[in-house]
Amino acid sequence: MASPSLDIAVIGAGIGGLTAAVALQQAGFDVDVYEQAPELTEVGGGINMGPNAARILYRLGLGEALDREAVRPIGVHQRRWQDGRTLQRVPLNPLCEELYGAPHLTVHRADLLSIIAAAFPPERIHLGHRLIGFTDKGDHVETWFDNGRRATTELLIGADGIHSAVRARLFGEEAPRFAGCVAYRGLVPVDRIGDLGLELGSQSWVGPGAHLVHYFVSRGRLLNFVGWTEHDTWNREDWTDRATIDRALAAFEGWHPQLSRIIAAADTCFVWALFDREPLPCWSAGRTTLLGDACHPMYPFMAQGAAQAIEDGAVLAACLAAGGDPVETLRRYERLRLPRVSRLQQMSRANKTRFHLPDGPAQEQRDADWSRLPDRSPETLSWLYGFDAAAVVANDQR
Ligand SMILES: Cc1cc2nc3c(=O)[nH]c(=O)nc-3n(C[C@H](O)[C@H](O)[C@H](O)COP(=O)(O)OP(=O)(O)OC[C@H]3O[C@@H](n4cnc5c(N)ncnc54)[C@H](O)[C@@H]3O)c2cc1C
């Protein structure tokens, strides 16, 4: 039987690992987090967070900090690349709160990570610990790290991202695949673009072979942009060296002038290559399981990668808190999560094609579909936004 004394090692202090750690600790478990980096960091600008993930963080008691740091966008405005014509425009807040009891948020990644980390005892986050191996001994798991330390726990949770060492050890090494897309990412102080008169919402611009999203973060002081373009090959050195503002401007040349104004107003621009893996048929073996990008990396074209990692942590904690044999409980967690994240992996992949259609009949049909039934509206996404981890576990027939 699970008991509050069950001790658990979480590998990886990203958004997924830390949320799981907070949820597990609040459920009464004894939790330690092991992170390879010497400090907690999140690279890049923003996270677009649907009410499905926001609800979980509010229930974990993080609402006050989120209300202070995050932005509540009033809506999503999807536009055509060249002339800015509206393709769909839907409200987000306060509608999400009315429908789902939680807002839609846009938040700086570093702010989000600090907010989650602040809810967990710092002495239980072990920085500079890179997992290099583990063995399941039947009634416990022994884990070892590159600094020579070892840990013995009853459960091991791999929340160590797309290059997961835990995943590789459980299911074999397999390099992730370049997804044929790179992102240019930047942050712009809003006082530099005040003349654009942007309302406090998200805008998403779609065009042939590319799309660009921008929204506010950091109490509305910064505008985050991510512009995706398609490419056949990826070479880290070549790309990172040349990820300049000029290169981002060239990638969106000929697009609406608002976008070049925004890109040019950034101090720096980072490039990010998108990698992908085939969905896994299972995530758990014995006393070890996975969560977040370690088991289900997804294209960010439903803005749900971090959100699903957050959901994983909440479901895992609720399953373990319900008691039972821990090995079977990990299987139950996986069974409850797999269909939902697999669906989102597929939808996110399909959006790459849909967003990047060349101008022509298929694009016209897509635009007509969006104007008839906006696929981004909170009502259309009720299956996604209405998710309630506690209810899913409580309603599950074991
Ligand atoms: C450009 C872009 C935009 C995105 N936008 C959104 C969005 O708007 N909304 C959204 O929900 N998602 C978005 N995503 C997806 C989201 O960023 C990821 O799904 C999410 O960050 C995954 O979190 P994670 O905790 O599973 O993994 P990670 O964030 O990768 O964290 C893994 C952690 O494990 C550590 N680690 C790795 N190996 C080891 C080891 N051997 N030992 C110890 N520690 C280790 C790492 O250092 C890291 O801290 C976006 C992604 C990209 C690339």
pLDDT in tens, 338-356: 999 999 999 999 999 999 9
Predicted confidence at residue 45, as pLDDT, reads 87
Look-up of token digits 């967690």: 333
CA dihedral 84, 89, 94, 99 (to 10 degrees): -150
pLDDT digits 0-9 by tens, 291-302: 999 999 999 999
Provide, rounded to the nearest whole percent, the portion of the chain with pLDDT above 90. 88
Task: Cis check for the bond before 339: say yes or no (omega within 30 of 0).
Answer: no
Mean pLDDT computed over every residue of the chain: 94
pLDDT band at 210 (very low <50, low <70, confident <90, very high): very high
Expressed in angstroms and rounded, the spacing between residue 61 Cα and the centre of ligand 1 is: 22
Order of strands across the sheet that contains 210-217: 86-91, 75-80, 202-207, 210-217, 222-230, 177-189, 270-276
Q: What are phi and psi of 284, to 5 degrees?
A: -120, 150
Q: Comparing C-alpha atoms, which of 113, 54, 61 is closest to residue 378?
A: 54
Residue 131: the pLDDT is 98
Output the pLDDT for position 335: 96
Mean pLDDT of the 194-217 span: 98
What are 309-334's pLDDT values in tens digits? 999 999 999 999 999 999 999 999 99
Mutation test residue for ligand 1: of 182, 225, 293, the one with most atoms within 8 Å of CB: 293
Strands 75-80 and 202-207: parallel
Q: Can you state the percent helix, strand and coil of the chain, rounding each to 5? A: 40, 25, 35
**Candidate from 19, 36, 42, 106 with most ligand 1 atoms within 8 A of CB, to mutate:** 36
Smallest CA-to-CA distance from 7 within 153, 132, 116 is with 153
Distance 15 CA to ligand 1 centre (A): 7
Q: Return the pLDDT at 235.
A: 73
Q: Kindly give the distance from the C-alpha atom of residue 109 to the centroid of ligand 1, in angstroms, as a whole number.
A: 10
Q: What is the pLDDT of residue 278?
A: 86
Ligand 1: centre distance to CA 178 (Å): 16
- Residue 388 clears pLDDT 70, i.e. is over it: yes
- How many angstroms separate the CA atoms of 270 and 42, rounded? 13
Among residues 186, 210, 212, 216, the alpha carbon closest in space to that of 198 is found at: 216
Ligand 1, atom 29, lies closest to the CA of 14
Index of the ligand 1 atom closest to the CA of residue 40: 49
Model confidence at 43, pLDDT cuts 50, 70, 90, reads confident
Among the atoms of ligand 1, which is closest to the Cα of residue 47? 8
Q: Whose CA is nearest to atom 42 of ligand 1?
A: 130
Per-residue model confidence as pLDDT tens digits over 103-132:
999 999 999 999 999 999 999 999 999 999
* pLDDT tens digits, one per residue of 3-41: 457 999 999 999 999 999 999 999 999 999 999 999 998
Q: Pairing state of beta strands 222-230 and 177-189?
A: antiparallel
Mutate to test the pocket of ligand 1, among 10, 15, 130, 169 (most ligand atoms within 8 A of CB): 15
Rounded distance from Cα 130 to ligand 1 centre (Å): 16
pLDDT for position 103 = 98
pLDDT of residue 243: 66
Centroid of ligand 1 to alpha carbon of 83 (angstroms): 34
Q: Tell me which residue has its CA closest to atom 17 in ligand 1.
A: 306
Helix, strand or coil, per DSSP, at residue 391: helix
Element (H, E) at 226: strand 222-230
What amino acid positions are annotated as catalytic residues? 215
Residues ≥6 apart with Cβ < 8 Å to 367 = 80, 87
Alpha carbon distance 291, 334 (integer Å): 9
Integer CA distances (angstroms), 65 to 52, 97, 123, in order: 18, 17, 21
Give the model's pLDDT for residue 238.
59
Q: Whose CA is nearest to atom 21 of ligand 1?
A: 306
Q: What is the model's pLDDT at position 182?
A: 92
pLDDT band per the 50, 70, 90 thresholds, residue 175? confident
Kindly state the average pLDDT of the residues 233-240. Answer: 68
Q: What is the pLDDT of residue 1?
A: 42
Per-residue pLDDT band at 42 (split at 50, 70, 90)? confident
Pocket of ligand 1 (CB under 6 A): 11-17, 34-37, 47-48, 130-131, 159-161, 165, 183, 185, 226, 272, 292-294, 300, 303-307, 309
CA distance 95 to 92: 5
In this structure, the residue with its CA closest to atom 35 of ligand 1 is 12
Q: Which atom of ligand 1 is nearest to the CA of 132?
A: 41
Element (H, E) at 329: helix 326-355
Q: Given this model, what pLDDT does residue 2 score?
A: 44
Task: Kindly give the distance from the C-alpha atom of residue 160 to the centroid of ligand 1, in angstroms, as a whole number.
Answer: 8
Percent of residues, the chain, with pLDDT higher than 70: 97
Name the helix (H) or strand (E) containing 96: helix 95-100
